[in-house]
Structure 1
């Protein structure tokens, strides 16, 4: 069955070898990322997802914060490999930082006490959908990306460097850029191990 949407999201892969040779401008990429987040659903239409888009030196500075934070905790013998990985992320065209606004979640918990314990869970759903939407939108422009999680150890320094509101909670980081090497083949589980169909 032909399905353009499924064909489209199949392009989304983890691309680790990225560069700066993208065909879109910063303005075009900012528009793409913002639209992808805006069009992502959220519980009660809370729109709790936030994104910080870093280009150029700002992106490099972010990854230097990650590198220097890890330098303090990674054993010296293992640090070179860690540093090389961070350099591969910094080599891209930019980075998206995904946040969730905790004030939105707290307000919903107060307004709808019956569902209070669910709103943090639903917030994680929202950010996951937003991340997938941005990742897929980038892939459809032939821009590679990966999803990284160096939070929470970098949170305070990143917040200070980029003026992040105190209520924003960092959930993931997405370095992106030109695809300098393609992803390898992807293996899939047997469907009968993963799905059940009734009816």
Structure 2
């Protein structure tokens, strides 16, 4: 099995995070920057914007998410997600994923194609950064709190870090040392997932 496939297999959603890492904040940030630079985008549009939070900024962000979501989520959903929110502060930091809507509008696409390309651009960055963090021995998970550009749900985050109004938040990736491994993962049949035809 190749090193790449091993890395893909090792990447899992890790929710119990710590701060133990051989890498500095600068080394992690440099890796994220290089990955984003190399990620493919539709028409080389480079619409994705990434923000990396550490220390006080990370705490401030997740406190904000907690304050908003406690009034949105209820019952079992809150019981489950509140633990993820509070646990996300225990790691090294968080990567916030945005699309610059001004740059998105410059793509030679409209309507459903524009939306698809935007989502694909961002997903490429999300997965590539997740693999990069995994390669560095760090765990992460992908979250989707306070997303909703049209409704203004991400406005508080943009104000907190003085980000452009054109930024649309699509996801968050808290990361840190792996303090609890992911459980066993079930897979559906490979022939259901991948069909092969030669005629």
Same structural fold, with TM-score higher than 0.5 when normalized by the shorter chain: yes
- The counterpart of 1:143, out of the listed 127, 138, 147, is 138
SS of 2:106's partner is helix
Q: Mean alpha-carbon deviation: is it higher for 148-157 or for 49-58?
A: 148-157
**d(CA) in 2 for partners of 1:76, 1:167:** 34
SS of 1:104's partner is helix
Contact 1:19 1:179 in 2 (8 A): yes
Gapped regions of structure 1 (runs ≥ 5): none
User: Which residue does the alignment assign to 1:105?
Assistant: 104
Q: Are residues 77 and 149 of structure 1, via their aligned partners in 2, closer, same or farther at CA, if it must alter by over 3 Å?
A: closer
**What is the CA-CA distance between 1:154 and the residue it aligns to?**
4.4
**d(CA) in 2 for partners of 1:168, 1:78:** 28
Post-superposition Cα deviations, 1:76-106, rounded to whole Å, max 9, x if no partner, equal 7875654332111111110000001111111
- CA-based RMSD of the aligned residues comes to 1.7
User: Which residue does the alignment assign to 1:165?
Assistant: 164
User: Which residue does the alignment assign to 1:87?
Assistant: 86
Q: Is 1:121 aligned to residue 116 of structure 2?
A: yes
Contact 1:144 1:176 in 2 (8 A): yes
**d(CA) in 1 for partners of 2:134, 2:48:** 21
Q: Are residues 137 and 78 of structure 1, via their aligned partners in 2, closer, same or farther at CA, if it must alter by over 3 Å?
A: closer
**d(CA) in 1 for partners of 2:142, 2:78:** 21
Gapped regions of structure 2 (runs ≥ 5): none
Contact 1:69 1:154 in 2 (8 A): no
**d(CA) in 2 for partners of 1:86, 1:194:** 32
**d(CA) in 1 for partners of 2:63, 2:46:** 30
User: Which residue does the alignment assign to 1:9?
Assistant: 8
**d(CA) in 2 for partners of 1:78, 1:105:** 33
SS of 1:65's partner is helix
What TM-score do the two structures reach when normalised by structure 2?
0.91
**d(CA) in 1 for partners of 2:77, 2:140:** 24
Q: Are residues 160 and 182 of structure 1, via their aligned partners in 2, closer, same or farther at CA, if it must alter by over 3 Å?
A: same
**What is the CA-CA distance between 1:119 and the residue it aligns to?**
2.1
Q: Is 1:185 aligned to residue 184 of structure 2?
A: yes
**d(CA) in 2 for partners of 1:189, 1:78:** 26
What TM-score do the two structures reach when normalised by structure 1?
0.91
**What is the CA-CA distance between 1:73 and the residue it aligns to?**
2.4
User: Which residue does the alignment assign to 2:128?
Assistant: 133
Would you tell me which structure has more helix in proportion to its own residues? 1
